[in-house]
Amino acid sequence: MNSPREDLLRPSLSGGDSPVSAPYSMQTTFLTGFFGGPFAAIAIFAINSFRLRRISRDLPVGIGMLLVVLLGMWVLHRTAPGGAALAWLEASLGSRSIRFVHQMAGLLIVGAAYLLHRREQRNSDLLGLKRPNGWVAGIACILLGTALSIVCLAALRM
Amino acid sequence: MDSTTPEQVMQQVQALLERRRTTQARVLLQAALATNPQHTGLLMQAAWTDYLDDRGDEALATVKQVLASQPHHESARLLYFELLVKAERYVEAEPVIIELLRDYPEHAPYYGRYASLMLHALKLPKARQLAQEGLKSDPDDTDCLGAITICDFIEQRDRDTSGALQRLLAYHPQSAQTLVLVAVALQQRGDLKEARHVSQELVRAQPDNTPLVEMAHQLKLSTHWSMVPMWPMQRFGWVGSIVIWLIALFGLRIAANASPALGAVSTVVFLVYVVYSWTWPAILKKLMPM
């Protein structure tokens, strides 16, 4: 039986597992979710999961987020209570109501993603680890997220 | 003719390196190595000098030269590990520190250095376990206590439940690492002014330490009077940004419903604040260079 010390002296960074990479910064994640909405936020969360080598842990959460977003969209656009909520928002915020829901949903996903990856984010910040440039991934996720939102909305309104 | 022995030169260089006077150390080493080019001690001090001056390639070449003739040289192996970590070659660095720990199993600092590597590789649980293992050999080792303190910061154990930072303050109050961690702790608690004072003391003691100077400069910028409106974001991070956005969204609507003029003024104020928050920190950094 291995002693605890022997377990500690077993290499963690070589072998089958490729090294973990620092995730995209919270600034990238936040702006992606804010401008791209919930699908964009889920996309950047998935990319961070891949970089952190925790796909198997985060996959159920990611699928759950997707289902919640789709269910939420269906409730808002195809049920009476959802319609009433949208009407109230439109009365409060005018033409910005849909955009507000889009941004809030994105930020809620960003918040959930932060809760899951907060240790890795804080670790990266404290150690000053080099973060990947967020422009390409952020813009790609925003475009993807926006496209998916448009497609889903169009499908729900048919 | 200079009759200074290599050992005497090494003593002088060691004293200079402890004060980070690498330029003077380099002069002494160059003269000594001219007459003793294969002296291991001088070569290692030259490599450490290059390491402190961020000349990684030169340091690596010298270390490899030493390890080629003396593969079990402890200081060379340690510096080789440090150079690999600095170059972010974590996969290659890990077996080096593991072998050092196998050869020196009671040497607590090596557990601390391995813990630091695990922190760089985002392996937080193993970092904590390694540091705690090192403390079994030396309960006051700075590297292990420092690693545990950083683990506490990452897990936001604000009340310092592990006691690591307290031990550092009690047993190593003048250590630069302790003071850096105190500055970080103060920052985390939102006490930026105190963190700035601590960082300025650190810079006075080590004016050539670039990361320290950068930290002190960043704190100086953060506590500038023109950054006061940024307080919600500084204190609460992205949650603060979201709250401000929500307040603005509904507040502007309420203001517009109350009076078009009030709505217009509120909108302008909010837009000015947004532009300020996005641009002023970068402008201030250019106005107040390091």
**Kind and range of the H or E element at A11?**
none
Read off the DSSP letter of residue A130: P
Q: Find the CB nearest B249 among A93, A122, A128.
A: A93
CATH number corresponding to B1-100: 1.25.40.10
B90, A4: Cβ pair inside 8 Å? Answer: no
Q: What is the mean pLDDT of residues B215-232?
A: 90
Name chain A contacts of B195, Cβ cutoff 8 Å: none
- pLDDT reading at A146 higher than 50: yes
pLDDT at position B2: 54
Percent of chain A at pLDDT > 90 equals: 68
Non-local (6+) Cβ contacts of B282 within 8 A are none
Mean pLDDT, chain A, whole residue set: 90
CA B235 to chain centre: 22
Non-local (6+) Cβ contacts of B159 within 8 A are none
Amino acid in position B258: A
pLDDT confidence band for B1 (50 / 70 / 90)? very low
Q: What is the mean pLDDT of residues A35-49?
A: 96
CA B19 to chain centre: 18
pLDDT confidence band for B180 (50 / 70 / 90)? confident
The domain ranges of chain A are 33-157
Mean pLDDT, chain B, whole residue set: 89
Q: Between the ranges A85-89, A107-111, B169-173, where is the mean pLDDT highest?
A: A107-111
Using CA atoms, how far residue B161 sits from A87, B104, B130, in Å, is: 50, 30, 18
pLDDT at position B160: 56
Q: What is the mean pLDDT of residues B49-65?
A: 93
Tens of pLDDT, residues B118-134: 999 999 999 999 999 99
Q: Find the CB nearest A119 among B105, B154, B249.
A: B154
Q: Which of the pair, B25 or A91, is modelled with greater confidence?
A: B25
Q: How far away is chain A from the Cα of B47, in angstroms, using its nearest Cα?
A: 24
**Kind and range of the H or E element at B123?**
none
Contact A41, A109 (CB under 8 A): yes
The CB density around residue B80, as the number of other CB atoms within 10 Å, is: 23
Tens of pLDDT, residues B134-156: 999 999 999 999 999 999 989 88
- pLDDT reading at B218 higher than 90: no
Q: What is the mean pLDDT of residues A47-53?
A: 95
The domain ranges of chain B are 1-100, 224-290
Q: How many residues are recorded in chain A?
A: 158
Amino acid in position A29: T
- pLDDT reading at B209 higher than 80: no
Query: Which residues in A140-156 are b (16+ Cβ under 10 Å) and which e?
Result: bbbebbbebbeebeeee
Helix axis angle for B124-137 and B108-120, nearest 10°, is: 170
Read off the DSSP letter of residue A20: P
> Is the CB of A113 inside 8 Å of chain B's CB atoms?
no
Tens of pLDDT, residues B248-280: 888 888 888 888 898 899 989 988 998 998 899
Alpha helices in A3-133 (DSSP H): 4-8, 26-51, 55-78, 80-93, 97-127
Report d(CA B104, CA B73) in Å as an integer: 12
Kindly provide the ipTM of the predicted complex, given to two decimals.
Answer: 0.85
Report d(CA A123, CA B154) in Å as an integer: 6
Following CA atoms A77, A81, A84, A89 in sequence, which dihedral angle do they give, to the nearest 10 degrees? -80
The answer to which of B81-90, B110-119, B231-240 has the lowest mean pLDDT is B231-240
B133, A129: Cβ pair inside 8 Å? Answer: no
Q: What is the mean pLDDT of residues A46-61?
A: 95
Report d(CA B75, CA B62) in Å as an integer: 12
Q: How many residues are recorded in chain B?
A: 290
Q: Which of the pair, B12 or A157, is modelled with greater confidence?
A: B12
Contact A36, A141 (CB under 8 A): yes
- pLDDT reading at B161 higher than 70: no
pLDDT confidence band for B47 (50 / 70 / 90)? very high
Tens of pLDDT, residues A76-104: 989 999 999 988 888 877 777 888 889 99
Q: How far away is chain A from the Cα of B232, in angstroms, using its nearest Cα?
A: 16
B253, A93: Cβ pair inside 8 Å? Answer: yes
